[in-house]
Structure formats: structure tokens, C-alpha cells
């Protein structure tokens, strides 16, 4: 039946949006039957959509397709408007209090108390009205000035939030733009942005891909997809042309490869439908009344069924009874969907934890894949524990908030008590109606002073400083090939103590070439001449390499003369293809003889198989099928019982001969740092068979164990992947910086040891431990097969290379280091990864680095930072930037706390001694603005230097405020308080100005030169101390690097000019009066004195200063912080500082949060797989150095079952051979 007649009119392509949408709502066998019966199969759909399943689209009608079927972009949630951000900023408690106080002050300024007659005027009234004209004009200015200051603070805050959101949306857009997909257009495979996909595109899908659109399989090889992000089911779904050909956006390809026809994009895809329905539901909920809640629940259930179960929307319209089969499953489904909506990812930002669970396993889960324990589920939904800096800042903000609140309250109480004693006890007055206005004005004035003290005391600038430092660093880090996805990872990286790095592409160039080979029982140190090889052997080598590789792996000629050929696809396969070309042969000709569509069976690499195999029907040989295999030499050689001799004849490959090949060929290659690959084959024929052949009759290609044995070895090649020239120096920098670098690779132990020595990971004279994954597991597991932390703690401090390791081994190592109690502080671990199976380790690590070039989409989603150049040196730059962030915030703290201490104590002691604060409320708000915004921006934009790598990591429990910082804060506060005290009590005599203390009882007294000079001197000292604050490690040269930061220079000069304008023209509004040149010079002199004083302070030994442990807390508190600070609302005594910090933190995190935290109880789940043992590796695990280490470092461990033979993680490919066993990461 032709379906083109339905829908809203006939599409010019033969299929309408509605028809395609209806088809994609069906799954499994039902979807396959509908596809064949109603739509005529996938190739008929290609014909109707006017696309070629082999050549793809020709790009002539892309815009028309977008117009008809839509673009592959789901409209993101609209950003908050500026007015909404203003309203959020106005929710600040202290700002609300200031607004109320200012309104009261304004109201009182216009209120005139009635007077009975002129004779009743008291002396005080006469004094107060002596300047009535000025007072009546100025009475309302205090209130208005505070309101203006509040408006400025709110606007600045809202603008900062708006700019942050804009920047982070740009970052999100950058991340989405980085997501490209292999698409065939005009017969050429192109990597195009997912947003450019259209209905009718032919796309190649491969292991590790996050599908960006809905589609139907055209051709597949052992394809398995993780659909748990939509269904909650943890089992991988097998896909194929003849079984469940539907591929859905937002799901992950976990195994295999294939091609698909895009059938729905953007809002019309399954992910888009979920977004639209949930948004509609959320909007409806906002508008519906309470009595309509049941309808909302019904609608949400309908959405769940449409999105998850693929129910026909027509059934919903007819309201057929549709009941979820499992309540917990339905709950999980809708929560998964809501997570995606919350994250706002335009292209199926799904839960990578589901993929991780499939690889490693999680205890306590139901069959549907949902955590059985709600508490466990809550944990699984959270990200990593709070970073070191966040924990310390949160604690500091709370403590300062408590102290500031106490001082503010005490200040107000003292002022009011002193006023009452002075007025009603000393002067003997009584409260009359005539005094009401004046008394309330005084109380309001004191209240405003108290609130202002609180505003100044509380470190509101902390969230802003963190935001600015991180935002500035993230922007700059993009130029250093670090694309930061989670902002806290930037700072955490500065505190890293360990890096577990992959080898291929990270430490090496990832440009591989075959430099040695073992063919026909001859060892070649150079590329052999093809004509001198036996013709049968040569042809088998060509076919094995050309056919048993991803067809998207290819070598293209250089774009310019003198350049190297371009390697596209898997680099190891490209090395093999290059080997073919170096023998002056063509792999393209062989692929033309055996197109990808004609391949009988492809066994893609997985962690159990550790090799890649392909079955073909041999041309010109009836009833003959050939099984090609390639993989790590240790794995494939053990499967071989025959080997081709120089004449091309299979000869018996005895165990003794295997050992000879291992000792004389494979180990020497590996010792030279070469990756060794074995190529093998086996023919299956009908009738009589030779010993090295297989029987074709009754063959079941899915029964892999019956096929994968008795192979014939064709050749062994050694592939060179040179160490990046800049890597050894980068590793030396890490070691000087107190960071231990470990290599975790899937390569042969000898290859890994050779590369580690060249990189500097293994250094002469050091007891660096080198283990294979198998031996590693044997040493860390107890007699029950469980990972034992005590045994782990005896291994990891000395471990430098983990070879032949699996993704599970990497996860166990990272978890063991993080959970270790060895040392005074917990290790902060960074990990690199590029494969889908690396997801658990990337998420468990404090900072996960994914490879931008070779990394899979799943790995990128699980990561915190993406290395856009796959280079280890970029990790070192991330360390520098992380430490720079820490230093920038420390600089700001040193500056702000000095100002806090001085301003608060001036206000407090002023209240106690002269019954007023020498610094008026509006003046302290101006200083606060300097601290919060301008100083944050000035001190958070310093560029990192190599000196940052000469220090050790700060440590998790080390106080945020070091002894040096505490010394600077203390002595600069003493200097500034001394200067202000001298000016306050001796200033009128020394400087010849009127004493402003005489006017403290007059609410509307005109500004005095005395208090103006105190205010101006305080700001000058603050400004010059900002220069001091640039150095926090006792450096003498405070001007070093200052001119390389134009932002600092500009802000400093701008603040100075603004202060001059306030002094000269601020007048009544700022309680200032114009100063003459002499008075200005005195203010600048006292300000400049802070620079001279700072040089003296640097000479004071730090040991004289007690450690400021009050800003770090005890170890127990530290642990509590790490566990509980992410949920501040659970703390019943959360202070003002914590509220400010949390509010600022949530604003800065306007980025993609697409990956649930990996659930971390994998060990027991995998013991079953560890109990399935392989034969012992033919490679010896013990070097002489390791034997020495075994005696000197490691006691006899409890016996445990022999660990399984380890597997390799995998590289992403652009074809069906996505990964092969010799790919180490």
C-alpha cells in the first residue's frame, strides 16, 4: 500500500512528516512488519525520499528538505530576560532590608512633626533647625542615595548574570557544534554538524555514536544500541535490517556499525516529540487550577507512553486504556526524559550512566535498569563531590557571614543603647511627640549602618570572583585546546595530584606506520618488496588488510606537495593500509571486488573478543567462505595452529614455534615501542577439508566459538607510534608540580614500558611498577575475588604503567586511588579516555578528559574537559589554568578580607566611641561595589605563568587562607586601622580641618572635610592594597606582570577617577565635600604607604603567624563538607554567606549537564567475568625491576582466583571496524 496519500497533503518526496512520524513510533518486529507492508521496505523509502542508499544526497535540495521536514535543531529553552534577572537580584535579603530602610528614611524626611507654639521650641530643636534650608533640601538625599546604590548593585548583578548566561550558552553552542556525524553526500563520507542533517541523509553509525536523529537501518554489522535513555531498559538492543531496524535519536551505539536512512529530525524526532510534549505539559501545569491536577497526571502518563513505548498518537486521541507494565519503569522513563529537558541539549543529551551501567554493571537494580533503592538513585543522579575550592569557599562564606551578622547586630545595639543613655539618662529627656521624627530618624540611621556593615562584611564578591575567574579561564582555555564542559573541573585540575593517561594519541602522535613485519617466517626490518613475496601470501595480506578494516578508514593524498598523506579513520588501520601502499599495491581495488554490502558477517571488536573478524564469500571459488582475523599478537597467535611459510603453504604452528616467535619477533618489536598486530585467516569449504580448513556445511556464523579457532597466521607487523616531542618536557613539568603521571594502556607490557621510558613516566633509579591488567587484578583482589582497598594501597603508590588493561581496570584503579586513605589528604585524580567504556572512569575521576579527535560521543558526554587536540601538553595547560583560578580567588580574598576587616571594625569602634560610623552607609556601599565587581574583575584576569608548576598541589585540607595571606591581611588591616584612627582623633589638629565628630548627633549635618578625608584615605589605601593583593606568595616585586594585564590597569585607573568625581562632586549624596590639593596629597600619601608597608610585611617570617585553620575546619568537617555541601538546603543553620554562595554558584552553572553520575558499585558484578579464565598470556609479566619491586615493596598477598585476561578499550571508528584489540584506549 502506498502511504503517500495520507497526512496533510502529498509530500513532493512521496512521504510526509506525519507518515514518517507514524512509522518511527513502532518498535521491533511490529515496526519491521509495518515498514515492509505499508512502506515497501527501506529501499522503497529511499526511492520515495529521492536519496541514493550508496551515494547519499547531492545537496541540491537541502533547503527544500529543511522547509518540508524541518531542521535538526530542537529550540532551546528561552533564556531569562534581563527583567527576570533583575527580579532575581532583588531577592537578596540585605538589599531588601536596605530598600525598606531607605524608604523609611525617605518617608521620615518628608514628615514634619506638629509644633504647638514657637515658645515650646527647645534648644536642641533650635540647633537642629539652624541650617533648615540645607536640611530640608538634604533630608531626603540619604534615602534616595541608598536606593540609587541598590539599583546600581542590582543592575550590575543582573548584567553579570546576563553576560554569564550568554557566554555559557555560547559554550553550549560550541559543544553542540563540535558534535559532528559521518554522512554520505555525493558518494563521499563527510563529517557534518548534526544540526545540518536532513531527512533523506544516509549516515554511517558506529560504536560510541550518540544518534542525532531518527532513522532506519540500511545495512548493519553486529549493531547493538543502548536505548535506556528513553526506555530505562539496561539491556542493549540488537538492531539489524531484519530485526528492529528503527534507530532513535538520543540513544547510543554500543557495538557494531552500519548505515541508516534519516527519517525524522529536530522536533519531529522522538527526542523532539518528548521535548515538545513535556514543555506543553509544563506550560499547562502553570495555567491549570488545582482541581485539574488529575488531568495533568493523565497527560503526563500519555506523554510517557508516547515517548517511551512508541504508542500511536491516534490511540491517545481515542483515549484507549494504556497502562504501564511497570510503575517504577514508567517513573524512570519520565525522569530520564525530564533530565534531558532540564539539560537543554538540542540533540539527545541523554544519560551516559546507562551506557556505563551496561559495561560495568550495578548492584541493586531491577530488571528494568532502575535503581532499586531510591536513596541510591538520588546518589546516582548527583555529580562528583564538591571541588576543593568550593568546599573551602562555602565554609569560609558561612563563617564570615556569621561573624558579620554578629558584628552588625552588635553595632546597631550599641548605637541604640548609647543614644538612649545619652538622651534619656544623661540629658534627662523624655520621649515627646516633637522628638518622634528625630528619634526614629536616628534609629533608622543606626539600622542602615548595621545593615551596611553586614553588606560589607559578608563576602558577596566570592561567587562573582569565582564566576569571573572561571569564565575568563574557560574562554582562554579554549585557545589552549581545552573545551571545559563543567566549570568546577577547571579549578579542580589545579589541585590534581595524579593523572592516569592513555597512550595512543595522547602521549604519542597517533600517526602510525608499519616499520617491521614477520612474513613467511622471515623478519623484515623494512617494508618488503611485494614482488619478492609469495603470491598467495601477498594476496592474503592485501585482502586481510583491505577487507577486515573499516571501509571508512582510508589514506588520502596530501593536499599540498611535501605534506604527508592524510589518514582518515582508525589510525592503526591506516597504518596497515599505508603498509599496502608502501608495497605499491591498492586496497581500493580489493574493496571494489568486495563491497561492504556483500560481507557475510563482521565480528566487531568488543571487550570479550579483543579482535576484529570478517567473513566473505570468496569470488571465483564456489562454496568457499573466508574468515579474516586481526588483533593483538598475543591474542591471535594463541588461536593459530598453522602459519604460512615462505612458499605460502600452511605449516604446523607448534607451541614451541609460538614461543620462538614470541621471544624472537614479538617481544623485540614491543621492546622497541612497537605495537604488534597479527593477521590470520581460515577457509570454510564444502566436502573434504584440510586440517587447517573448516566445514561449511551446517555452519552458524553466530556461533563464534566454533569458528574462531585453528586459524592460520599470515603475518605479524610492528607498528610505530612515535612519542610526541613535547610530551617528555610536559611530564617533567607535572612531576615538578607534584603530580604523578601514570600510563593506562591496552598495549603490550613491553611496548608500554618502552613508551613510558621515552616519555619520562619511568625514570632511571625509581622503583616504578609496571603491571599487566591480569596481574594487577590478582594483586588487588582478596580470596573472594573482591577488590581489597588495603591491597590496592600497597600497589597504586608505586604503579606507573598498567598495560593490557581494560576499561574496568582503569575504573578500579581510579576508584582505588580516590578512596585510598594513604597520605594526609585524598588524592585528586584526572583521567583521559576516548572509548564508550571509559565512561565510568571518566565520571569517577575528579576531572575526566575526553579526546576531541578520537573520542566517542559517549566519552565526551561523560567528561569534564574535552582535549580538542588529543595532546597531553594540553592537560598541563589545564593544570596551570586550574592553579591560576585558585590563585586568582586567593588574591581576591586577600584583598577583600582586608577591606572587610577594616570597614567593619571602623564602623564598630566608631559606634562604640563616637556614636557614629566615620564611613557613611552610602560610602561603604561604594567600597563594597569596588570589592564585589571591580576588584573581582581586576584580580580574576591574571594570566598563568610557568611558576605555577613549580609548587606542589595545595591539598584538600590545607587552609584556603595561607599563613602568608593571613600575615598580609592582618598587618595591612593594622596599618589601615592605625591611619584611620589617627585621622579620626588627631586629624583636625594635624591637617587643620573642622572636627566632624561634633556633628554625629545631627542626622542632617552637612558633609565635613574631616570625614571626607577619612573616606578618601580609606579608598586610596584600598586601591593601593589592590596592587599588593596581586601577590600571595611573599613575592617582593609586586609590579611583576602588572602591565601584561590591561584589564587590571584599566579598572584601577577607572576606580581612581570615579573616586575623584565622588569626592569633588558627590556632595550631600555621598556625604563628601571638595578637598584641596594638600588634602588630596595627604590621602594619596597614606594610600601609597600601603605599598611601602607591604614590603616590610614580606620580611616578617610566616612561622610567627598561627595557621588560620578556622577557614578549613577539622578533617571530620572536611569529609562532611565533601558529602553534604552540595545540598545546603539540608543545613538548618545555613548562614547568609552560604545562601549567597549557593545563589552565585547556581547562576554560573548555565552549561550542559547531560550525564548522570556513574553508580560506583561495579566490583562484584564483574567477578563472574573474572572467573571465566583464559589461558595464561604468552608474554612474561615480570621484568627484573618488577621482581625486585615484588621483594622490596609488596608482601605476599592473599591468594585469589587468577584474574581474567585483560581487554583493551576502544577507539572510535568511522566505519564498521570501530575498534580493534590493539587500540589501547
Q: Taking each helix axis as running N to C, give the angle between helix 17-24 and helix 28-38, from 0 to 180 degrees, rounded to the nearest 10.
A: 150
Contact 737, 884 (CB under 8 A): no
Q: Is residue 568 classed as helix, strand or coil in its secondary structure? A: strand
C-alpha cell at 1045: 594585564
**H or E, element range at 735:** helix 727-736
Q: How far is residue 421's CA from residue 998's CA, in Å, rounded to a whole number?
A: 18
* Residue 599 near residue 616 (C-beta atoms within 8 A): yes
Q: How far apart are CA 651 and CA 200, in angstroms?
A: 52
What Å distances lie between residue 384 and 828, 867, 1122, CA to CA? Answer: 12, 20, 10
Burial class of residue 132 in the structure, from the number of CB atoms within 10 Å of its CB (0-12 exposed, 13-18 middle, 19+ buried): exposed
> Using CA atoms, how far apart are residues 441 and 110, in angstroms rounded to an integer?
11
Joined together, the cell numbers standing for residue 1005 give 549635618
Cα 439 to Cα 108, 420, 436, distances in angstroms: 10, 10, 5
Check residue 1106 and report its DSSP letter: P
Residues 762, 755: Cα–Cα separation, whole Å: 9
3-state SS of 207-251? CCCECCCEEEEEEEEEEEEECHHHHCCCCCEEEECCECCEECCCC
Q: How far, in Å, CA of 762 to CA of 13, rounded?
A: 62
Q: Rg of the Cα trace of the chain? A: 36
* Residues 490/800, Cβ–Cβ less than 8 Å: no
Provide the CA 1017 distance to its chain's centre, in angstroms: 45
Residues 673 and 718: beta-carbon distance below 8 Å: no
C-alpha cell recorded at residue 891: 588574591
Q: Which H or E run contains 630?
A: strand 624-632
> Is 502 a known active-site residue?
yes
- Quick check: helix, strand or coil at residue 702? coil
Grid cell in block for residue 370: 532502575
Other beta carbons less than 10 A from residue 1125's beta carbon: 21
Q: Which residues contact 240 (CB under 8 A, 6 or more apart)?
A: 217, 220, 223
Cross-strand partners of 741: 499
- Rounded to an integer, what is the distance from CA 464 to the centroid of its chain? 20
Instruction: Name the nearest CA neighbour of 774 among 1179, 1197, 1223.
Output: 1179
Strands 611-617 and 601-603: antiparallel
Closest by Cα among 602, 609, 621 to 548:
602
Question: Cα separation of 382 and 391, whole Å?
Answer: 16
Cell of 742: 601514570
Q: How far apart are CA 1061 and CA 835, in angstroms?
A: 60
Residue 1050 CA, distance from chain mean position = 32
Grid-cell match 586568582, residue found: 888
Residues 6+ positions from 583 with CB-CB distance below 8 Å: 527, 528, 529, 530, 538
CA distance 211 to 375: 31
C-alpha cell at 24: 518511527
Q: Which of 214, 356, 502, 1224 is catalytic?
A: 502
Pairing of strands 252-264, 769-772: unpaired
Q: Which residues are catalytic?
A: 502
Amino acid at each position: 500500500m502506498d502511504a503517500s496519500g495520507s497526512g496533510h497533503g502529498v509530500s513532493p518526496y512521496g512521504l510526509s512528516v506525519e507518515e514518517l512520524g507514524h512509522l518511527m513510533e513502532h518498535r521491533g518486529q511490529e515496526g519491521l512488519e509495518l515498514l515492509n507492508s505499508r512502506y515497501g521496505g527501506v529501499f522503497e523509502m529511499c526511492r520515495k525520499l529521492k536519496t541514493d542508499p550508496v551515494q547519499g544526497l547531492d545537496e541540491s535540495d537541502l533547503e527544500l528538505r529543511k522547509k518540508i521536514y524541518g531542521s535538526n535543531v530542537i529550540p532551546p529553552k528561552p533564556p531569562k530576560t534581563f527583567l527576570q534577572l533583575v527580579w532575581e537580584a532583588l531577592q537578596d535579603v540585605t538589599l531588601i532590608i536596605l530598600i525598606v530602610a531607605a524608604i523609611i528614611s525617605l518617608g521620615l524626611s518628608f514628615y514634619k512633626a506638629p509644633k504647638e507654639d514657637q515658645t515650646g521650641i527647645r534648644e536642641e530643636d533650635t540647633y537642629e533647625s539652624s541650617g533648615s534650608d540645607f536640611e530640608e533640601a538634604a533630608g531626603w538625599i540619604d534615602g534616595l542615595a541608598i536606593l540609587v546604590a541598590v539599583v546600581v548593585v542590582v543592575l550590575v548583578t543582573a548584567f553579570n548574570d546576563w553576560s554569564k548566561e550568554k557566554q555559557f550558552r555560547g559554550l553550549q553552542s560550541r559543544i553542540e557544534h563540535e558534535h559532528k556525524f559521518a554522512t554520505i553526500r555525493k558518494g563521499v563520507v563527510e563529517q557534518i554538524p548534526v544540526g545540518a542533517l536532513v531527512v533523506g541523509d544516509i549516515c554511517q553509525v558506529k560504536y560510541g555514536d550518540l544518534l542525532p536523529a531518527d532513522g532506519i537501518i540500511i545495512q548493519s554489522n553486529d549493531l547493538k544500541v543502548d536505548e535506556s535513555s528513553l526506555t530505562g531498559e539496561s539491556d542493549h538492543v540488537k538492531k539489524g535490517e531484519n530485526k528492529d531496524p528503527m534507530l532513535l535519536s538520543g540513544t547510543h551505539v554500543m557495538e557494531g556499525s552500519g548505515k541508516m536512512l534519516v527519517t525524522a529530525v529536530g522536533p519531529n524526532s522522538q527526542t523532539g516529540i518528548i521535548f515538545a510534549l513535556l514543555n506543553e505539559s509544563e506550560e499547562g501545569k502553570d495555567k491549570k487550577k488545582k482541581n485539574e491536577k488529575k488531568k495533568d497526571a493523565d497527560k503526563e502518563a500519555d506523554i510517557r507512553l508516547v515517548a517511551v513505548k512508541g504508542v500511536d498518537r491516534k490511540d491517545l486521541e481515542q483515549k484507549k486504556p494504556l497502562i504501564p507494565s511497570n510503575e517504577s519503569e514508567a517513573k524512570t522513563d519520565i525522569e530520564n526524559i525530564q533530565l534531558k529537558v532540564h539539560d537543554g541539549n538540542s540533540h539527545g543529551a541523554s544519560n551516559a550512566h546507562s551506557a556505563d551501567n551496561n559495561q560495568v554493571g550495578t548492584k541493586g537494580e531491577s530488571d528494568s535498569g532502575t535503581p532499586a533503592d531510591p536513596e541510591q538513585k538520588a546518589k546516582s543522579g548527583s555529580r562528583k563531590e564538591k571541588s576543593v575550592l568550593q568546599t573551602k569557599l562555602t565554609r569560609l562564606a558561612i563563617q564570615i557571614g556569621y561573624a558579620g551578622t554578629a558584628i552588625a547586630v552588635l553595632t546597631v545595639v550599641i548605637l541604640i543603647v548609647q543614644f538612649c543613655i545619652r538622651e534619656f539618662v544623661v540629658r534627662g529627656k523624655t520621649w515627646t511627640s516633637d522628638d518622634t521624627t528625630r528619634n526614629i530618624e536616628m534609629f533608622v540611621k543606626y539600622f542602615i549602618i548595621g545593615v551596611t556593615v553586614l553588606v560589607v562584611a559578608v563576602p558577596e564578591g566570592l561567587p562573582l570572583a569565582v564566576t569571573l575567574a572561571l569564565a575568563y579561564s574557560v574562554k582562554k582555555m579554549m585557545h589552549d585546546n581545552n573545551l571545559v564542559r563543567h566549570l568546577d573541573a577547571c579549578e579542580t585540575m589545579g589541585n590534581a595530584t595524579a593523572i592516569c593517561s592513555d597512550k595512543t594519541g595522547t602521549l604519542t602522535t597517533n600517526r602510525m606506520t608499519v616499520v617491521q613485519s614477520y612474513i613467511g617466517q622471515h623478519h623484515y626490518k623494512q617494508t618488503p618488496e611485494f614482488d619478492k613475496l609469495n603470491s598467495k601470501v601477498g594476496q592474503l595480506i592485501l585482502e586481510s588488510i583491505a577487507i577486515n578494516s573499516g571501509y571508512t578508514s582510508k589514506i588520502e593524498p596530501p593536499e599540498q606537495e611535501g605534506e604527508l598523506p592524510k589518514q582518515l579513520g582508525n589510525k592503526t588501520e591506516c597504518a596497515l593500509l599505508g603498509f599496502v601502499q608502501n608495497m605499491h599495491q591498492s586496497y581500493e581495488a580489493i574493496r571494489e571486488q568486495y563491497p561492504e554490502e556483500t560481507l557475510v558477517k563482521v565480528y566487531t571488536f568488543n571487550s570479550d573478543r579483543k579482535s576484529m573478524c570478517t567473513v566473505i564469500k570468496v569470488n571465483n571459488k564456489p562454496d568457499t567462505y573466508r574468515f579474516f582475523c586481526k588483533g593483538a599478537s598475543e591474542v591471535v597467535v594463541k588461536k593459530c595452529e598453522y602459519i604460512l611459510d615462505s612458499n605460502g603453504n600452511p605449516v604446523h604452528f607448534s607451541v614451541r614455534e609460538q614461543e620462538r616467535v614470541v621471544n624472537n619477533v614479538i617481544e623485540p618489536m614491543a621492546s622497541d615501542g612497537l605495537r604488534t598486530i597479527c593477521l590470520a585467516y581460515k577457509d570454510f569449504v564444502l566436502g573434504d577439508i584440510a586440517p587447517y580448513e573448516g566445514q561449511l556445511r551446517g555452519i552458524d556464523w553466530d556461533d563464534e566459538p566454533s569458528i574462531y579457532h585453528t586459524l592460520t597466521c599470515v603475518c605479524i607487523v610492528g607498528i610505530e607510534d612515535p612519542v610526541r616531542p613535547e610530551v617528555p618536557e610536559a611530564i617533567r613539568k607535572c612531576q615538578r608540580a607534584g603530580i604523578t603521571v601514570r600510563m593506562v594502556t591496552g598495549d603490550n607490557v613491553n611496548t608500554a614500558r618502552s613508551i613510558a621510558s621515552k616519555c619520562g613516566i619511568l625514570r632511571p633509579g625509581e622503583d616504578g611498577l609496571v603491571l599487566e591488567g591480569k596481574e594487577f587484578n590478582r594483586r588487588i583482589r582478596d580470596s573472594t575475588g573482591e577488590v581489597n582497598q588495603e591491597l590496592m594501597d600497597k600497589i597504586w603508590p608505586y604503579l606507573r604503567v598498567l598495560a593490557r588493561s581494560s576499561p574496568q581496570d582503569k575504573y578500579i584503579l581510579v576508584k582505588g586511588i580516590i578512596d585510598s586513605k594513604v597520605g594526609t589528604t585524598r588524592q585528586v585524580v584526572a583521567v583521559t579516555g576516548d572509548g564508550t567504556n571509559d565512561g565510568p572512569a571518566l565520571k569517577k575521576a575528579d576531572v575526566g578528559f575526553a579526546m576531541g579527535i578520537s573520542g566517542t560521543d559517549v566519552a565526551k558526554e561523560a567528561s569534564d574537559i574535552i582535549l580538542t587536540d588529543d595532546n597531553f601538553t594540553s592537560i598541563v595547560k589545564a593544570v596551570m589554568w586550574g592553579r591560576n583560578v585558585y590563585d586568582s580567588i586567593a588574591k581576591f580574598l586577600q584583598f577583600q578580607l582586608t577591606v572587610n576587616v577594616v570597614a567593619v571594625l571602623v564602623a564598630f569602634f566608631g559606634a562604640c566611641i563616637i556614636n557614629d560610623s566615620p564611613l557613611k552607609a552610602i560610602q561603604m556601599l561604594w567600597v563594597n561595589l569596588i570589592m564585589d565587581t571591580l576588584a573581582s574583575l581586576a584580580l580574576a584576569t591574571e594570566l598563568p605563568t610557568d611558576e605555577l608548576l613549580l609548587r606542589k598541589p595545595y591539598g584538600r585540607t590545607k587552609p584556603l587562607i595561607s599563613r602568608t595571606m593571613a600575615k598580609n591581611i592582618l598587618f595591612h588591616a593594622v596599618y589601615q586601622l592605625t591611619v584611620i584612627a589617627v585621622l579620626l582623633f588627631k586629624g583636625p589638629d594635624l591637617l587643620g580641618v573642622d572636627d566632624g565628630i561634633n556633628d554625629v548627633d545631627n542626622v542632617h549635618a552637612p558633609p565635613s572635610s574631616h570625614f571626607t578625608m577619612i573616606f578618601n584615605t580609606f579608598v586610596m589605601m584600598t586601591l593601593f592594597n589592590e596592587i599588593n593583593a596581586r601577590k600571595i606568595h611573599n613575592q617582593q616585586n609586586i609590579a611583576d606582570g602588572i602591565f601584561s594585564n590591561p584589564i587590571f590597569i584599566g579598572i584601577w585607573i577607572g576606580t581612581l577617577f570615579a573616586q575623584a568625581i565622588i569626592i569633588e562632586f558627590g556632595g550631600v549624596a555621598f556625604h563628601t565635600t571638595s578637598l584641596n590639593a594638600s588634602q588630596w596629597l595627604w590621602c594619596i600619601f597614606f594610600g601609597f604607604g600601603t605599598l611601602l608597608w607591604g614590603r616590610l610585611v614580606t620580611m616578617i617570617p610566616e612561622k610567627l603567624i598561627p595557621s588560620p585553620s578556622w577557614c578549613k575546619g577539622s578533617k571530620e568537617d572536611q569529609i562532611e563538607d565533601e558529602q553534604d555541601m552540595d545540598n545546603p538546603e539540608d543545613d538548618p543553620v545555613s548562614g547568609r554567606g552560604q545562601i549567597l554562595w549557593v545563589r552565585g554558584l547556581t547562576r554560573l552553572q548555565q552549561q550542559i549537564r547531560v550525564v548522570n553520575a556513574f553508580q560506583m558499585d561495579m566490583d562484584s558484578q564483574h567477578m563472574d567475568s573474572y572467573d571465566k579464565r583464559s589461558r595464561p598470556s604468552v608474554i612474561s609479566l615480570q621484568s627484573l625491576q618488577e621482581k625486585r619491586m615484588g621483594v622490596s615493596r609488596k608482601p605476599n598477598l592473599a591468594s585469589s582466583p587468577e584474574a581474567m585476561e585483560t581487554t583493551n578499550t576502544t577507539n572510535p571508528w568511522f566505519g564498521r571496524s570501530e575498534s580493534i584489540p590493539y587500540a589501547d584506549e
